[in-house]
């Protein structure tokens, strides 16, 4: 059981996919655990001890307020990790954004768990996005 993204973009566990997306956010300077859609999950696991006033004023951070990351990458980080699809047009934009913004910043070393090499895993995802774009087929999560 795990996550498969069409066009050979990703095959692996959901947790590995989450760790990889966290690394993408990290290299782009996006505070993913505090972002809308992630912060609530982080709280459930008790990852942060934040006073109530700070939490009510600033958290979760809205995606629209970010200056880091391109729109298409931020949309990818917000995307469900278990279902749905990314249009072939967005897959092409995502591949280009990853080449420009993410791949150069990814460490060329082994990641924890079943991810393998950070840079190689990112390149594999880019390749899958490019295959989807060239075939004009949506990238399917399943």
Mean pLDDT for 9-26 is 93
Map out the domains of the chain as residue ranges.
Answer: 3-30+71-141, 31-65
Which DSSP helix (H) or strand (E) runs through 84?
strand 84-86
* Band (57; pLDDT cuts 50, 70, 90): confident
Q: Label residues 84-93 b or e (16+ Cβ within 10 Å = b).
A: ebbebebbbb
Q: Can you give the pLDDT at residue 66?
A: 84
Q: Residue 20 above 80 pLDDT?
A: yes
Q: Can you give the pLDDT at residue 138?
A: 98
* Band (51; pLDDT cuts 50, 70, 90): confident
pLDDT tens for each residue of 73-130: 999 999 988 889 999 999 999 999 999 999 999 999 999 888 999 999 999 999 999 9
pTM metric for this prediction: 0.87
């Amino acid at each position: 059981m795990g996550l498969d993204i069409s066009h050979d973009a990703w095959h692996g566990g959901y947790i590995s996919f989450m760790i990889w997306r966290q690394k993408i956010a990290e290299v782009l300077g996006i505070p993913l655990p505090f972002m809308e859609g992630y912060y609530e999950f982080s709280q459930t696991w008790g990852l942060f001890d934040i006073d109530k006033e700070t939490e009510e004023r600033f958290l979760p951070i809205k995606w629209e307020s970010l200056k880091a990351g391109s729109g298409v990458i931020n949309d990818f980080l917000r995307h469900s990790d278990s279902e749905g699809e990314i249009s072939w047009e967005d897959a092409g934009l995502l591949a280009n954004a990853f080449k420009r913004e993410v791949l150069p910043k990814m460490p060329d070393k082994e990641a924890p768990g079943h991810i393998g090499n950070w840079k190689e895993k990112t390149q594999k995802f880019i390749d899958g996005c490019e295959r989807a774009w060239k075939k004009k087929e949506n990238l399917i999560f399943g």
